[in-house]
Amino acid sequence: MTRQEILNELKGVFAPYTTNKEALNNLNDQTDLIADLKINSANLVDIIIDAEAKYNIEIDYDSADKMLNVGSCIDVISEKLNQK
């Protein structure tokens, strides 16, 4: 999968947890989950678990800690997909 494909799919992963549709429609690597998408930190674990289910991957705790912006989410998902 390309980074762009993952980015497009991530919109669906983030959608249930953000009301900021404008930021969601304009996702880029720098988009911060909390500062830009206004996702409540209490939903960060939901996003990790939803991403694990969507891509059938396991995201270890160290990798999960890095998933704070879209670019790092794509990095982690790509890495785990490549390890499959």
Q: How far is the CB of 65 from other proteins (least distance, A)?
A: 5
Q: Which amino acid is at 8?
A: N
End-to-end Cα, the chain, rounded Å: 13
The encoded tokens of residue 37 equal 């998408």
Q: Which residues contact 75 (CB under 8 A, 6 or more apart)?
A: 66
| Residue 64 near other proteins by CB under 8 A | yes
| Residue 65 near other proteins by CB under 8 A | yes
The span of 2-10, 22-30, 64-72, 74-82 binding other proteins (CB under 8 A) equals 64-72
Q: Which chain residues interact with other proteins by CB under 8 A? A: 19-20, 38, 40-42, 45-46, 48-49, 52, 61, 64-66
